[in-house]
Amino acid sequence: MKAVTWHGKRDVRVETHPDPVIQDPTDTIIRVTSSGLCGSDLHLYEVLGPFLTEGDILGHEPMGVVEEVGPGVNSLKVGDRVVVPFNLSCGDCFMCGQGLHSQCETTQVREQGMGASLFGYTKLYGSVPGGQAEYLRVPFADKLPIKVPDGPADDRFVYLSDVLPTAWQAVAYADVPKGGSLVVLGLGPIGDMATRIARLRGVEDVIGVDLVPERLARAAAHGVRTVDLREHGSKVGEVIRDLTGGRGADSVIDAVGMEAHGAPVAELAQKAVGLLPDAIAEKLMTTVGIDRLEALRLAIDVVRRGGTISLSGVYGGMADPLPMMTMFDKQIQLRMGQANVHRWVDDILPHLTDDDPLGVDSFATHHVPLADAADAYKMFQKKEDGAVKILFKP
């Protein structure tokens, strides 16, 4: 099969790999029909190389058609159409029973001290081959894949793998009070979808912050008030307070994460670590690593006293300097974590209708052949050609 593989910083290639095979009686093999390029894939492309091995297959947002099932699989058959959540969860353990599928006790990567394994996402999360490929082995076939109906195009359902549950959880964790305000920092795929979900769930005052014109325009078209970082720079906090009665936002979603703009010292540190041998770089990142925290610092600034910050942007530092005095003094509530995909599926599915209230059918800006993955990664990182969401078509 053809698959997107990692070969170094900003170096991904489409190569031939052996087709996956059934390894456990409860496995299934799917033929991938669509697979998303995620913002967190760019962390692998740029920052997290020390935790990857050359040839690792990337991608964690796939859907497709069941090609083969193991002898222990009862709920799927060949030809079924499924979406595969990005985190591997058994569905039976204590954590899964609590709705914390991203902490699944069956797939936790204990040797790394991490939570549930993820498809296509470094040895920190199990080194599981990813879904930017023609075929994918999926374990826990009776519990993990999400069966979806035939008919609508893949775009209707593929975002159940990551974008929709991640954005839904971000809004749920933000816990916007009735009549309250929500600021979303970063209008990439997760931030953009979070604004749509917030509006769908009745949040009337949604403010989106970004610096890419196309992303600001997309959000504005869905009833979001937008703030352009290029225009307001260091005065964004003042602008948002002016828009929220002087107090600041009731809730803030940080949908940016570790590679935020405007943090030159941390950016330089990340680049310097990337030049070190992997064994040394890995040790530094897991002990003294730092993130570019401008988005989180902005969230702390613009949230009102007693408000809530919801983190959906990925952070990876172990020694991030946070303004704890300010956070304590403002009585900020902070919620975060990988999305617990299956926790939210039943809430989301009723909205994936022909009426398309979340705009999923037109959410992707680019549909790209898998063979062109290297160019797509480059375009997405550079935010060229209006790229907000890219779907690969194997």
Q: What is the CATH number of the domain that holds 246?
A: 3.40.50.720
HSE (side-chain half, CA atoms, 13 Å) at 243: 23
| Distance between start and end Cα atoms, the chain | 10
Burial 48-74 (b: 16+ CB within 10 A, else e): bbbbbeeebbbbbbbbbebbbbbeebe
Q: Looking at the structure, do residues 137 and 181 belong to the same domain, yes or no?
A: no
With beta carbons less than 8 A apart as the criterion, state whether 105 and 88 touch.
no
- Measured CA to CA, the distance from residue 225 to residue 243 in angstroms comes to 9
Q: List Cβ neighbours of 124 (8 Å cut-off, separation of 6 or more).
A: 48, 51, 109, 112, 114
Q: Are residues 171 and 293 in the same domain?
A: yes
- Give the SS3 label for residue 266: helix
155 shares a domain with 88: yes
Q: Are residues 253 and 349 in the same domain?
A: no
Same domain, 321 and 364: no
Q: What angle do CA 332, 246, 210 make, to 5 degrees?
A: 75
Dihedral angle of Cα 134, 140, 143, 145, to the nearest 10 degrees: 0
The string of pLDDT tens digits covering residues 300-345 is: 999 999 999 999 987 766 667 889 999 999 999 999 999 999 999 9
The residue from 336, 358, 384 where one domain ends is: 336
Which DSSP string do the residues of 234-257 spell out, in sequence order? GGHHHHHHHHTTTT-EEEEEE---
Same domain, residue pair 287 and 377: no
380 and 248 share one domain: no
Whole-angstrom distance, CA of residue 198 vs CA of residue 357: 12
Number of CB atoms found within 10 A of residue 239's CB: 17
d(Cα 241, Cα 228) in Å, to the nearest integer?
A: 15
Predicted model pTM:
0.91
- DSSP letter for each residue of 11-36: EEEEEE-PPP---STT-EEEEEEEEE
Phi/psi at 57 (nearest 5 deg)? -85, 130
CATH of the domain at 140: 3.90.180.10
Query: Which H or E element spans position 46?
Result: helix 41-46
Residues 179 and 147 placed together within one structural domain of the fold: no
Indicate whether 58 and 206 sit together in one domain: no
pLDDT number for residue 183: 98
Q: State the helix-helix crossing angle for 163-174 and 189-200, rounded to 10 degrees.
A: 60
Structure tokens at 280: 């040394």
Q: What is the pLDDT of residue 317?
A: 66
Print pLDDT tens along the chain (394 aa).
999 999 998 999 999 999 999 999 999 999 999 999 998 898 888 867 778 999 999 999 999 999 999 999 999 999 999 999 999 999 999 999 999 999 999 999 999 999 999 999 989 899 999 999 999 999 999 999 999 999 999 999 999 999 999 999 999 999 999 999 999 999 999 999 999 999 999 999 999 999 999 999 999 999 999 999 999 988 999 999 999 999 999 999 999 876 544 444 344 344 444 444 454 445 444 444 555 688 899 999 999 999 999 999 877 666 678 899 999 999 999 999 999 999 999 999 999 999 999 999 999 999 999 999 999 999 999 989 999 999 999 9
Which tens digits make up the pLDDT trace of 231-244?
Answer: 998 899 999 999 99
Q: Which of 336, 354, 375 is the last residue of a domain?
A: 336
Which residue range forms the structural domain that includes residue 242?
165-336
Q: Which of 298, 318, 336 is the last residue of a domain?
A: 336
Total structural domains within the chain: 2
Residue 366 sits in the same domain as residue 314: no
Q: What was the pLDDT predicted at 283?
A: 46
> In which residue are the tokens 């790394």 written?
112
**Whether residue 309 sits in one domain with residue 258:** yes
Is residue 133 within 8 Å of 17, Cβ to Cβ?
yes
Q: With contact defined as beta carbons under 8 Å apart, do 74 and 86 qualify?
A: no
Do 88 and 138 lie in one domain? The reply is: yes
